[in-house]
Amino acid sequence: MFSKILVANRGEIAVRIIRACKEMGIATVAVYSQADRDALHVALAEESCCIGGAEASDSYLNEERILSAALATGAAAIHPGYGFLSENAHFAALCQKNGIVFIGPSPEAMEHLSDKSTIKRLMAEAGLPIIPGTEVLPGVEQAKTEANRIGYPVMLKARSGGGGRGIRLVENDRQMETTFPQAEAESIAAFGDGALYLEKYVFPARHVEFQVLADEQGNAVCLGERDCSVQRRHQKLLEESPSPAVSSEMRAEILPKVVSAVKQLGYVGVGTLEFLLDRQGNFWFMEMNVRLQVEHTVTEILTNIDLVKWQIRTAAGIPLSITQEDVSLRGCAIECRVNALAPGKVELLHVPGGPFVRFDTCLVSGGAVTPFYDALLGKLIVYAGTREETLRKLKAALCELVIDGVPNNVEEQLALISDKRFMDGSYDLTFCT
């Protein structure tokens, strides 16, 4: 096992990783920007290094400074969390070259699996149903030709996309002529890669993803599914597990296929296979995320399996002690993402408590929320034996949560979970449109 890990991230996920390391007896190094000098993750780690200015490009995306901090402090591994460098194959290769373990897939696997057109082909070969689509398109004229072959409407997507960026719904040739260059420019700005491809637009549908965990010895388990259909502009707002739209029969059919596909890929670590689920009960594979997801906490509280610890263990070569028979999906867990609506200073913070109520956050009283980074303030996750009880518990917890001084979306989350379509589980991706 690693003796020291550098956490190459900030915010609630950095706090989450540092706490897991403490429980495992692993020393931690926090990196921080000048804007995060007084952040909670810096206070919790045994060591800390300032790596640059407030802008992410000067700090959390600066590969050389992060690697230098790891070498200077003697860290054996780097945990990237999610976002920033978590899916950067070049950075993973730099770590490998310098004798530092990147806690995530190998650079080769990351390069291979992050190409959405490649991963779709591999998953089709593994027996998963794939949304009709294309390889990377060389230009707008080819995009129009392929869209007419598939049939409008189609989704135009960035090969290196994530977080809802580089995605456009296109309904005809005229719209394609204007939308293609817009999506290309957005993709270049966000990911440094303007490659685009098309998928058939499955509508109406739900966004359902399956959490997997695999080791170097070829073992893999699936920890059930999460329903992530409550989204605005492709940004997830809340998640739940299990999905109210997935019956036990549907789960029993798709889950072995997911595990088999992961084993065929030779994947190691935590990963997520994302699907669209149509109203006929058909799953359509979209993409694979080769990192920890923001919403991993929903699966953790449902299954009582610590994904961060197992991510670290599998990166150290430790085999899974969990079998598929050990995975229990009883009860219901729901997570609300609590986001800042504007910068501010936390004047009063009150966190709800009680059995199976969890609030993952980096907030402290008097702490500043700056405009430089993601708006996520924390994640409120609750669990109960039934979905009805979980909803009541979540409403109570949201009403108890107080974050004065920073405008936030707690009231909106209360409205979302009180909507009849959410309460009866009939919502889909049109819920917030």
pLDDT digits (tens, 9 = 90+) for 103-137: 999 999 998 887 776 788 889 888 899 988 888 99
Whole-number Å distance between alpha carbons of 400 and 141:
54
CA dist 174 → 113, 132, 278, 321 (Å): 33, 22, 28, 55
Q: What is the pLDDT of residue 163?
A: 64
Domains of the chain: 4-103 (3.40.50.20), 132-200 (3.30.1490.20), 205-423 (3.30.470.20)
Q: Is-cis flag, bond preceding 129, omega within 30?
A: no
Largest pairwise CA distance in the chain: 59
Proportion of the chain above pLDDT 90, given as a percent = 88
Q: What tens digit of pLDDT does each residue of 186-244 get?
A: 989 888 889 999 999 998 999 999 999 999 999 999 999 999 999 998 899 999 999 99
Question: Letter for the amino acid at 37?
Answer: R
Q: What tens digit of pLDDT does each residue of 392-430 get?
A: 999 999 999 999 999 999 999 999 999 999 999 999 999
Answer for the pair 377, 359: CB distance below 8 angstroms, yes or no.
no
Q: What tens digit of pLDDT does each residue of 89-100 get?
A: 999 999 999 999
Pair of tokens at residue 303: 């299954």
Q: What is the pLDDT of residue 305?
A: 98
Answer for the pair 421, 431: CB distance below 8 angstroms, yes or no.
yes
Q: What is the pLDDT of residue 165?
A: 77
Q: Kindly give, in sequence order, each residue whose CB lies less than 8 Å from that of residue 186, ignoring residues fewer than 6 positions away.
A: 158, 165, 166
Q: Is 291 a catalytic residue?
A: yes
Whole-number Å distance between alpha carbons of 188 and 170:
19
Exposed e or buried b per residue across 294-318, where buried means at least 16 C-beta atoms within 10 angstroms of its C-beta: bbbbbbbbbbebebbbbbbbbbeee
Answer for the pair 282, 71: CB distance below 8 angstroms, yes or no.
no
DSSP character string of 90-129: HHHHHHHHTT-EESSS-HHHHHHHHSHHHHHHHHHHTT--
Considering 291, 313, 337, 387, which one is annotated as catalytic?
291
CA dist 314 → 60, 241, 311, 382, 407 (Å): 25, 24, 5, 27, 39
Q: What is the dihedral of CA 20, 108, 295, 214, to 10 degrees?
A: -70
